[in-house]
């Protein structure tokens, strides 16, 4: 590209680079801040003195966590939920996407199913009927409530379906001629050809399960059943939602917490995310594209 290198253009470049660098730092700040608080001296952190660097380095909070059964318990629940939940969702997503990717000629009732799907995606019964349904199934307080409640994000089915549709028809025809049935075609041809989109969708579902706190809050009655995010939510940001709270009380509440310990827990909750992130980044751009701009 040809660039004019006049003075105005250079000045703009310098400012632009600095400005974007600043934006980048604000996005990095959450991580850095949490880490700083977690390894700071307790008193300094509670007084709010930690801003850009740790004050009075200490690893006490991490040592304290090692003995914290409830924390590891919720960590383990989150891992189970993420692994089983993602596997479950992906299995159903793929099974649904394959028949729906057929044309109306090959699968007559396709459009009826499609309309049901889209309707369920756009409309729901609301929180209370959903909660009572879960209660009727006796799922409250079981990990299955979290796994099944996350369920099958219909938008993912549509993403995978659209990808399947764009695979060359000849592939499938050749397989049929060689005597492959629909299951074999799905598992030995379609799935291996769709790794990028399946990876994207799996990661999205995995991130959802890891980050979700609300189902954990609503569907679990006891704190030893909470997934990690719900555990942290209750610990760090929960403010009683009663009707009487004065600014004074609010101030006192915010002074009560043990900041270094909480920050250490939050930081540990971020770690799995940071480990997956490099893989995630490779795929999610494609993922957004598939969902947003289609050719």
Partner 1 sequence: MLLPGMIWLFMFSIVPMFGIVMAFENFNPGAGIFHSRWVGLDNFKYMFQLNDSKTVIANTIIIAVGKLVFNLLIPLIFALLLNEVVNLRYKKLIQTVVYLPHFLSWVIMATIVIGIFGYNGVINTFIKTFGGQPKLFMADAGIFRQLLIGTDVWKEFGYNAVIFLAALTSINPNLYEAAAIDGANRWQSMLHITLPALSTTVVLLGVLSLGNVLNAGFDQVYNLYNPLVYSTGDIIDTWVYRLGLQNLQYSLATAAGLFKSVISFILIVISYNLAYRFADYTVF
> Of 18, 171, 195, 237, which lies in the binding site for partner 1, with binding defined by CB under 8 A?
237
Residue 112, burial from CB neighbour count under 10 angstroms (0-12, 13-18, 19+): exposed
> Of 148, 191, 193, 199, which lies in the binding site for partner 1, with binding defined by CB under 8 A?
148
- CA 59 from chain centre, in angstroms, equals 29
Does 214 participate in binding partner 1 (rule CB under 8 A)? yes
Q: Which residue from 197, 207, 227 is spatially nearest to 272, judged by alpha carbons?
A: 207
d(CA 274, CA 270): 6
Does 91 participate in binding partner 1 (rule CB under 8 A)? yes
Q: Which of residues 17-46 bind partner 1 (CB under 8 A)?
A: 17, 19-21, 23-24, 26-31, 33-34, 37, 46
Q: Within 10 A of 166 (CB to CB), how many other CB atoms are there? A: 12
Shortest reach from residue 77's CB to partner 1, in Å: 15
> Of 66, 178, 244, 271, which lies in the binding site for partner 1, with binding defined by CB under 8 A?
244
Shortest reach from residue 241's CB to partner 1, in Å: 6
Of 62-70, 173-181, 194-202, 246-254, the segment contacting partner 1 by CB under 8 A is 246-254
Does 210 participate in binding partner 1 (rule CB under 8 A)? yes
Alpha helices (H) in 101-239, listed in sequence order: 110-122, 127-136, 143-150, 154-166, 169-177, 182-185, 191-193, 195-211, 214-219, 228-232
> Of 77, 143, 157, 197, which lies in the binding site for partner 1, with binding defined by CB under 8 A?
157
Does 187 participate in binding partner 1 (rule CB under 8 A)? no
> Of 65, 84, 87, 114, which lies in the binding site for partner 1, with binding defined by CB under 8 A?
114
- 264 contacts 62 by C-beta, under 8 angstroms: yes
- 203 contacts 85 by C-beta, under 8 angstroms: no
Of 6-14, 68-76, 170-178, 189-197, the segment contacting partner 1 by CB under 8 A is 6-14
Tokens standing for residue 193: 């050809």
Tokens standing for residue 81: 């939920």
Tokens standing for residue 234: 């209750």
Does 142 participate in binding partner 1 (rule CB under 8 A)? no
Does 87 participate in binding partner 1 (rule CB under 8 A)? no
Does 3 participate in binding partner 1 (rule CB under 8 A)? yes
Does 108 participate in binding partner 1 (rule CB under 8 A)? no
d(CA 200, CA 207): 11
> Of 70, 166, 173, 255, which lies in the binding site for partner 1, with binding defined by CB under 8 A?
255
Shortest reach from residue 187's CB to partner 1, in Å: 11
- 236 contacts 266 by C-beta, under 8 angstroms: yes
Does 16 participate in binding partner 1 (rule CB under 8 A)? yes
């Amino acid at each position: 590209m040809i660039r004019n290198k006049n003075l105005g253009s250079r000045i703009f470049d310098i400012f632009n680079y600095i400005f974007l660098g600043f934006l980048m730092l604000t996005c990095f700040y959450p991580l850095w801040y949490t880490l700083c608080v977690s390894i700071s001296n307790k008193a300094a952190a509670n007084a709010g003195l930690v801003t850009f660097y740790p004050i009075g380095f200490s690893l006490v909070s991490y040592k304290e966590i090692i003995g914290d059964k409830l924390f590891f318990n919720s960590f383990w629940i989150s891992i189970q939920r993420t692994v089983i939940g993602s596997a479950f969702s992906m299995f159903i997503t793929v099974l649904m996407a394959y028949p729906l990717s057929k044309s109306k000629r090959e699968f007559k009732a396709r459009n009826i199913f499609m309309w049901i799907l889209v309707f369920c995606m756009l409309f729901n019964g609301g929180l209370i009927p959903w909660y009572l349904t879960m209660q009727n199934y006796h799922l409250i307080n079981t990990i299955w409530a979290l796994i099944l409640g996350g369920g099958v994000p219909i938008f993912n089915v549509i993403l995978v379906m659209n990808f399947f549709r764009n695979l060359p028809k000849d592939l499938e025809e050749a397989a049929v001629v060689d005597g492959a049935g629909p299951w074999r075609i799905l598992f030995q041809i379609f799935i291996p050809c769709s790794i990028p989109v399946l990876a994207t969708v799996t990661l999205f579902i995995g991130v959802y399960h890891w980050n979700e706190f609300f189902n954990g809050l609503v569907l679990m009655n006891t704190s030893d059943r909470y997934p990690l995010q719900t555990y942290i939510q209750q610990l760090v940001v929960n403010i009683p939602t009663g009707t009487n709270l004065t600014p004074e009380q609010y101030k006192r509440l915010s002074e009560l917490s043990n900041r270094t310990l909480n920050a250490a827990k939050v930081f540990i909750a971020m770690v799995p995310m940071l480990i997956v992130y490099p893989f995630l980044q490779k795929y999610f751009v494609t993922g957004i594209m598939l969902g947003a701009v289609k050719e």
